[in-house]
Structures are given as C-alpha cells and as structure tokens.
C-alpha cells in the first residue's frame, strides 16, 4: 500500500486582510463623498490599488462591497460604546447611525430596491441590519441592567421603534434624518432635556 500523497500546496492567491481592509476603507470614503450611483467598481479598485477582478472575487456585486464598507465604517464610528452612562451611549450610537445613514442614503435606498428582486442583495441587507440591531439591542439591555429602562422593556420592539424612524425617513424622505434628529429621539426615551 502506497503512503498517502503529500498535500498539494495552495497555488491560488489567498485573501490578504490588509488589502480587504483597504478596499473597504476606500469604498466607504468614496461612498461618503459621492452618491451610490457615482461610485463605480473601477473607482474603488483604483483607490485601493487593486483590480476589479480582486473585488469581484471577494464580493458578488458593487452593492455588496459598499454595504460591507458601510457596516465596517459604522462599527468604527461607535467602537466600545459602553461608558457606563446609558443616555450618553444611546445618543452616541443613534447619532453615528443616523449621520452615516444620511451620508449613504443613496446606497441604502439602492440596496433596499435591489433586495426586493435579488436574494444576494436581500441577504446582504439582512446581515447589515441584523448587525446594527444586535448592537443597539445590547446597548438597550445595558440600559435595563443599569435601571435606566424599565425591567419589562420589550427590547426588540424598542429597537424597531428607534431604527424604524431612520428607515422611514430614509425611504420616504419627508423629514431630515441626521445626528440632531437621532439625539432628539434618544432624549425622548431617556427623558434627558435638550441643552
């Protein structure tokens, strides 16, 4: 019986985490500076110093890379949000979330429309929203633990209410959706006065 063959060495190129992060950073910068439609894959590739092929090997569409870039930027803007002061943390989280959504409103509307007909876009949007929901839910749970929210608070319903305002204004466009609105929203929940 012959011995097992040696494992075949990997000949393809492995994903480089630094290159992936560069793509996401440049995509987020381009997205914030431009509208969704004005950020072609060519521009992301050029800014990151990679080929379009590299981007399409890692993400299935422009929407997918931009959505992940936006999720990554949102996480970077609200890192380690646990100061021990629930009202401050809630205002910071919602203000950063609303401000980012305002800057990339074209992407969010575009992805929402794409998600109605494309299962890949729908799954990407679901993952993005789920991540933001989980972060907000954890923050609200700390509010319950610290006694800033009633112990019987329905956290999932409260998450829907807080993020629902953002999505409603984003999709309908009848009123502003920015950090100032987010802070006012947070203060309706915490009872904190303006000032």
Structure tokens at 108: 């969010």
Average pLDDT over residues 149-174: 95
Structure tokens at 5: 């063959």
Selection from 69, 64, 52, 172 nearest residue 119 by Cα? 64
Give Cβ neighbours of residue 156 (< 8 Å, ≥ 6 apart): 137
- Phi and psi of 150, rounded to 5°? -60, 150
Question: What is the chain's length?
Answer: 195
Cβ-contact 139, 81 below 8 angstroms: yes
Give the separation between CA 167 and CA 149, rounded to whole angstroms.
24
Residue 142 has pLDDT above 80, yes or no: yes
Residue 18 has pLDDT above 80, yes or no: yes
Q: Any idea what DSSP says for residue 43?
A: H
Query: Tens digits of per-residue pLDDT, 102-122?
Result: 887 877 887 788 788 878 778
**Number of other CB atoms surrounding residue 2 within 10 Å:** 4
Q: Give this prediction's pTM.
A: 0.76
Highest mean pLDDT among 58-62, 72-76, 87-91, 116-120: 87-91
Highest mean pLDDT among 63-67, 74-78, 96-100: 96-100
Under the banding of pLDDT at 50, 70 and 90, the label for residue 12 is very low
Give the separation between CA 134 and CA 78, rounded to whole angstroms.
13
105-115 vs 62-77: helix crossing angle, rounded to 10: 130
Percentage above 90 pLDDT, the chain: 47
Pick the range with the lowest mean pLDDT from 111-125, 129-143, 170-184.
111-125
Average pLDDT over residues 184-189: 96
Give the separation between CA 17 and CA 147, rounded to whole angstroms.
41
**Number of other CB atoms surrounding residue 168 within 10 Å:** 13
């Amino acid at each position: 019986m012959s011995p097992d063959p040696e494992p075949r060495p990997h000949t393809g190129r492995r994903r480089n985490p630094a290159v992936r992060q560069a793509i996401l950073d440049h995509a987020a910068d381009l997205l914030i500076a431009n509208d969704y439609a004005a950020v072609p894959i060519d521009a992301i590739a050029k800014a990151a110093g990679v080929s379009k092929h590299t981007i399409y090997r890692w993400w299935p569409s422009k929407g997918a890379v931009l959505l992940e870039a936006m999720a990554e930027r949102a996480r970077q803007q609200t890192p380690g949000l646990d100061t021990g002061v629930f009202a401050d943390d809630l205002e910071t989280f919602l203000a950063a979330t609303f401000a980012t959504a305002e800057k990339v409103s074209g992407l969010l509307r575009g992805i929402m429309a794409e998600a109605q007909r494309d299962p890949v876009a729908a799954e990407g949007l679901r993952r993005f929203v789920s991540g933001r929901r989980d972060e907000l839910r954890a923050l609200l749970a700390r509010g319950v633990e610290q006694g800033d929210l009633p112990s019987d608070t329905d956290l999932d319903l409260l998450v829907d209410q807080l993020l629902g305002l953002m999505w409603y204004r984003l999709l309908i466009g009848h009123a502003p959706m920015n950090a100032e609105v987010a802070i006012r929203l947070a203060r309706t929940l915490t009872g904190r006065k303006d000032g």
